[in-house]
Each structure stands twice: as C-alpha cells, then as structure tokens.
Structure 1
Amino acid sequence: MKIKRLLFMAAVAAFCVPLSAQQSFETPLWPNGAPNSNGDPGDTAKVKVFLPKKETATGRAVVICPGGGYSHLAMNHEGYDWAPFFNNMGIAAVVLKYRMPHGNKEVPVSDAEEAIKLVRRNAQNWNIDPQDVGIMGSSAGGHLASTIATHSTGDALPNFQILFYPVITMMPDITHKGSHDNFLGPDPKKKDEQKYSNDLQVTRVTPPAFIALSDDDHTVLPANGVNYYIEMYRHDVPATLHVYPSGGHGWGNRDSFIYHKQMQLELEAWLRSF
C-alpha cells in the first residue's frame, strides 16, 4: 500500500509540472465556432503549442503551417517535428492544424490569421514578445504563410516568415495545380489568381523572409520561391534564399534530406541575426 501511495504521489508531481519547464498542450482555434465554413463540420482547426523552458525563452514564437496541397496536412515532418529545433533556441513553436479550403480560400486564411492573434493574446502567459511572432510554412503551407505575410494587417501580420519549397503563385503556368484548385476552386476568377499570387503582393512592409528549396523540385517549381525572393529584393525587404542542389520536394525536418544539417544551421544563423 505504501509503495502504491508513493507511486501515486510521484505521478501527481510529474503531472503538476511548473510553468518554467518545457511544455506542450493543444487548444481549439475557434472554441465558439469558426466564422466561415468549408462544408465539412468534422474538419476543425486547432493548434498545438510547444513552449521552451521559461529560463531559456527568448520571447520569440513561430506559427507553423504544414503543407499538403490544401487537401491534407503533413503534421509530423512539416509540423510537430520542428518543435525541438525551435524550443532548443528558446523559441515557442505553435503548430497549426488549419482547415482545408475546398474552394473557400477564406477558411485556411482565417485560421492562420487567428493563430497569429491567439499567440499575441496569450503573449504574457506564454512568455512571448507580441512583436516577435513569425509564420512558417512548407509547400502549400508556404503559400498560406506567404499569404498572411503579404495580405494580413494589424495583429494578424507576422514579424517574419520562413518558407520551405513554397507554393507562391496561383498563376496556372507556374503554380502547383492541386494547391491552386483546392484553394481557389477548379474554375477561379483571374483576379483571384492574381490576388493570391503572393510574389505580386510584396510591398516594402512585407516581413523579412527565409526561403529554402531544392533545385530538382518537380512538384512545386523552384520559380515560385525564386520569384518571391526577387520581389522581396526589388522592394528592399530583407530576405535570404537557399537553393539546395538536390532533395526534391517535401523534406521538411527529416534527417534523410541530404542537406538537413546545413539547412538547420542556415536557419538558425538567420534567426539569430535579428
């Protein structure tokens, strides 16, 4: 009986971890109901928050948008697997499970904007500087992240952006067709294709960017990320572009990517530069 009591007390102590320790938790994005619908009531948005130890926290946070062609989400290697990398740098990682658009572009956009606002609303409790909140996305998640970076304003505008092999344009000759059709619908208006071609939406107030992709990416053409970098350069927005000789598409934070360590070192150096 005494041993059982000791085990119980140990379990309680382990559960009641002080806020200064590294922790993660999940929370719905729209507890009172989302402002728009994609026609699928079972597709709900939520975030999983990974906070660094309080004593090592820098105050920086990044909202992570996994890819998946706006049809599904690669939650692990483009989402959760990034948390240790950021936490080890004292950066909070907030992985967003956004809803699929099914042709209603406002659905994922509103989810990503709300995720940024959620982080800022909880900045004090989560030891975050509300003026140091970035957004990151891979593939179609890169399109969502760059959409927020170029279209959003006020509390929804991030302070920096990190893009991996991103879909940037919605113009039919360069875009990723699956992402295009799922985001805008199969027969969109030309003005919407232009509006959500984010290289065309860069301005002098667009937040700084880290862009990384592979030269042999045949899924999302490298021109997407390259053209975005060119527009950042033209508008005097700080940006860095890393094009790796090989790796294809979708490597995320996988060790199997031949340039995995180099990519992490370059991203870490960039994050420490401001």
Structure 2
Amino acid sequence: MVNTRALITSLDDHELDVLAQSYRLATCASEHRELSINCTDLLKPELAMPFLQKVGAFWETDSMTAIVSLFAKRYAYLTIAAGLYAMSRYNKGMDLALNNSSLESHIQGEAWLPKVLLGNREVSCPLEGKRNEWRDEVIQRMFADNLATVWAALSNMSGVSQAVLWENTAIYVYWLYENQFAEGADEQERQQIEADYRYLVQDAPAHLFAQRTNPLQKFDSPKRVTAVSNTPIRVRKTCCFYYLAADEPDDYCPTCPKLKHG
C-alpha cells in the first residue's frame, strides 16, 4: 500500500477489536473451509457457482437469483463496513482490494455470518494536507478494485442485474453512516464522518467505483412515510429478490419497490 500520500502503520489493539467485534473483520482463517473462499475465486464460475450453491442452503432456496442477491448483501457489508469505519473514525486505510481479501465463513446457530480476512494487514494514514487524495485511494480499493469486479462476474454468471447488486451495496453505506458510525464519536469525528458520507453519496467520481456514474448517488433518495411504513424509509429502486427465499410467498422487504407505497 505504499504511496506518496500516506504513511504506513497498523491498527492498534482497540481498533482491531472494534472492527473484529462489530464490522466483520476476521483475525484468522475459519475452520469452515468448504464455506470460505479467496475473493479472487469469486471471478471463476467453476469455483464460484458451487460455493454459492453451498451457501444457498442456509437460505433454503434453489433460486440462484435469490442466492446471488442475498450473498451480495453479505459480501458488500463485509467488504465495506470495516474499511469505511476505519477510514472515517480512525483515519486509517485498509487494503480491501480483491487480491488481498478472503471470505472466511463463520456459523452462528443456523446463520451464515462471513467475515473478511486481509493478507496484507498494514494500513495507511494520510499525510498532512493529502487526506482527500488518500481517501480516493481507500475508496477505490474497496469499490473499484473489489466490488465492481465481483458484481460484474456474478451478474454474468447468474443473470442478476448489476443494478441490484449495487443497490444492495448502497443500502449498507447509507445504513452504516446514518445509524452506526457516529456512535460514541466526538464532535470532530462526527464532522469527518458526515464529510466522508456526503462525499461518497454526492461528490465521489464514478471511476472510484469503476462505473459510468456514482452508484451510491444513483440509488440515494429521500426517506419518506409510505402506505406500508409509518417510519420514514428510503424505497428501493430495484427488488433484491428476498421474497424468492422467504418462508411465505410474497414476503417482500419493507422497502421493496414491488409494494404499493403510495
């Protein structure tokens, strides 16, 4: 991760503990190897499809459309949660590029809870006056150098639109910044969190996501009360296909565009 805009350092014990306990950062390989995978192998249909079929058993569905979308939600979270938190709270950049990441399977009861393990665990800190440029590099590694490549591959394998996969990603960015990251933060940290969030959803250039437009901006919309929700919600633009794996037919997510929100 050597560059001219940052110093190389490491996470301290407290930071590592927070990221491990709250944001799905693995500190060692999982014993469940049949449900773990090097992230670069997600680009190979002969490895990715059997892996996804095994994962699909946790959701009790044979629908590859549902499996890919539900997997994408989990993969998006474990790819961005720790990295964005470290960036916005600790001013530290983790290397979440695809070739530095592996998905480690953890099972809790009947739930599959994957984590991300990094090969190179060094982190970067921006040099004085270089935070904006450094931030672009951190964002590019996790979005353009990881998620964009995986979403393109999964879309080609399954036929699931990349728009669905990107909106699955966007909803976690919104939720993390709006509900999680500011907890326990002081005023200066809150300002940095808000500035990073605003940049991600409003100003970040499309090339940081390897897309023609910023997908986080594309799927952002004002929260509103609807006919199916008394609490203001951000109605999705795409359906995530959760209903294909639900216990009851037509059991849609509260924010699903298939519902009559009015």
Normalization by structure 2: what TM-score?
Answer: 0.35
Structure holding more strand per residue: 1
**Which structure exhibits the higher relative contact order, with contacts defined as CA atoms closer than 8 Å and separated by 6 or more residues?**
2
